[in-house]
Structure formats: C-alpha cells, structure tokens
C-alpha cells in the first residue's frame, strides 16, 4: 500500500496530520465481530498473520516515517483486500 498524499488539517480540535491511502476493506474490529457473531474462534494462523502485519506496519511507521501511532485499537486497523492471503 502506498501513501498517495498527506496534508495538515486545522479544525476545531487543533492540527491533524492526514494521510491518503488506497480504499481498504473492513476494520480489524469488523473481522473480530464477524467471528464472535458466528460463535467461531479465529484460526491461530490468521491471528499470527494479522499480528505480524500490524507489527511490521508499526515498525515501518516508527523507523522509516519517524511517527508513533498513539491510538492503536482494532477499529483503527484497516484490512487490505489481497487475494494472495
């Protein structure tokens, strides 16, 4: 996934750094809720895959971009729709 653009937004709550990405799929919270709604457990391999991808993203943000994600929670993690998984 590439960053297409970034910009500053000045609103009633102050300055916000915004990034523009490709359209993504559901949030991680949507995926978790889907499993819970169907009374299913998420396969451990899927949990490991998601965890690895989130950690890779966080390391990239920190080491390459010099940014720190300050609000990491399932509803803020977007799932990319990739047919290779």
The pLDDT-based confidence of 25 (bands split at 50, 70, 90) is: confident
Q: What is the mean pLDDT of residues 25-32?
A: 93
Across 1-85, the runs of DSSP E, i.e. the strands, are 5-11, 14-20
Residue in 5, 37, 39, 71 annotated catalytic? 71
Q: Is 39 a catalytic residue?
A: no
Share of the chain above pLDDT 90, in %: 71
* Cβ atoms within 10 Å, residue 42: 13
**Residues sharing a CB contact under 8 Å with residue 22, sequence separation 6 or more, in sequence order:** 1, 2, 4, 80
pTM over 0.75: no
């Amino acid at each position: 996934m590439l960053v297409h653009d970034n910009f500053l937004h000045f609103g009633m709550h102050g300055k916000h750094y915004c990034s523009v990405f490709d359209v993504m799929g559901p949030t991680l919270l949507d995926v978790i809720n889907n499993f819970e709604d169907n009374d299913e457990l998420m396969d451990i391999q899927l949990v490991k895959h998601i965890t690895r991808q989130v950690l890779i993203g966080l390391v990239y943000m920190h080491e390459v971009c010099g940014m720190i994600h300050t609000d990491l929670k399932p509803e803020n993690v977007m799932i990319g729709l990739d047919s290779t998984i």
